Chains A and B, each alone.
Chain A
Amino acid sequence: MPALGADMEAGKLVEWLVKPGQRVKRGEVVAVVETQKGAVEVEIWEEGTVDALIVEPGTSVPVGTVLATLRGEAGAVPVTPPAASAVAPAPVAPRPEAAKPAPAAIASERYKISPAARRKAQELGVDVAKLVPSGPEGVVSLTDVERAAGAHAPSAPPAADRMEAMRRAIAAAMTKSKREIPHYYLANSIDVTPAVAWLARENTTRSVQDRVLLAAVLLRAVTLALGEVPELNGVWLDDRLQMSREVHLGVGIALRGGGLVAPAIRNAQDKTIPEMMAAMSDLVRRARAGSLRSSELSDATVTVTNLGEQGTDAVYGVIYPPQVALVGFGRLAARPWVVDGTVQVRDVLQATLSADHRASVGHRGAIFLAALDRLLQQPEKL
């Protein structure tokens, strides 16, 4: 049972997606596990043949329990990431990239499907080849896709139980953070008028499905600014800072009905703004549907939270251990602002940094926020 975040102590195996004797590849989803963050698809990081499934579906086991064994060339090996103690963070060992599954659309060329339904199927991860058209002309419709997606959704425990478990998990992680991490906080007001104007122009050239939100521009700018102050991107483990070359950008996502998860956009450093938007949309959708993957929940190297939509001006966040920084964005608002010696009305928002003083000093944190500001003045170069 993998530790899917610093706050996970146990998980319930909901479903096996592989059988004994089946060959598995790196990055393949092999099981669904129920955690306080919802149902999580567990990926495997070894290659081989499934030997035995040890834990029965429906069973709750502590983190570190062997779930199954795998036969590689060297014989059977247990298939679970290294055991982590109760509130210890998940290991952040560099991990081979998951093999990307072929897009569902490729398999669907032989089937008649409406464009909207095809897009929806890709979005929901529904295998188009398995869809049964209900329409008169044998064309797969939007409704067929939605029905199929609903039928595949993993079963979930009662919402009240999950909320209670999630609240406890947040309490444990945040208490640990405030007990162990000496936070310092910085805030800058940033004039984002150029970014807002650039984005509005960009979006007029894009179809509705491809429109980009300001949040994606901010995430891109944060990723680049982290490259300039790398000690904010990593984890504090074994009494030292372990910086990460990759930026796995945790994104705080509020769930409907309360609750919060912060899954990661993995390898954000390689993503353009439209790719960041696509990754963010995918995460939000799956977080709310309760189908996140294990790697996304266990290895964020920094987190970004955006509370501006609720109208708050600035957020001084609590760092998610073992990470060492959290970047917050407040409300975008028109403000009087001095530009070239005159007062103008500009779109301004507050960016904040909560950082671990063991890992970085305020001076470097200030350089990070200044870099963020500078990058956002030239959005076309992001």
Chain B
Amino acid sequence: MTPEQVRQAFLEALGQIVPEGDFGQLKPDRPLRDQLDIDSYDFLQLVIALHERLGVEVPEADYQRLATLQGALDYLTAAVRSAHP
């Protein structure tokens, strides 16, 4: 999976959680939580959606690394690569 495909999958998963979100405006280095008004329930749904789309099971201890768009894409790209070398 290319980084672009991971990005696409991530934004689709995010779209499931925040259907009205304008992701074009997202600042890559600012917390998603503040920009999209997502709570811990939404965040868990996002992690579930990522598991369905990418086959990556993000442990709770790593949630912090998904805090920003850039952080999430870096983390997921690496995770997808190690899951499917």
**Could you tell me which A residues sit within 8 Å of B by CB distance?**
116, 120, 142, 200, 203-204, 207-209, 211, 213-215, 256-257, 280-281, 284, 309
Contacts and interface: CB of A to CB of B under 8 A. Distances in A.
11 contacts: A116-B52, A120-B52, A200-B61, A207-B57, A209-B48, A211-B47, A213-B41, A213-B44, A215-B40, A215-B41, A280-B41
Contacts of A309: 39-40
Interface of B: 18-20, 37, 39-41, 44, 47-48, 51-52, 57-61
B57 A208 contact: yes
Contacts of B40: 213-215, 309
B56 to A, nearest CB: 9
8 closest A-B pairs by beta carbon, nearest first, are A309-B39, A116-B52, A208-B51, A203-B60, A208-B48, A208-B57, A213-B40, A208-B47
Nearest to B40: A213
Q: Report whether over half of chain A's contact residues are helix, strand or loop; otherwise say mixed.
A: helix
Nearest to A200: B60
Nearest to B47: A208
Contacts of B48: 208-209
Given A207-B57, A211-B47, A256-B19, 8 more contacts: A116-B52, A120-B52, A200-B61, A203-B60, A204-B59, A204-B60, A208-B51, A213-B40
A214 B43 CA distance: 13
Contacts of B60: 200, 203-204, 211
Contacts of B51: 208-209
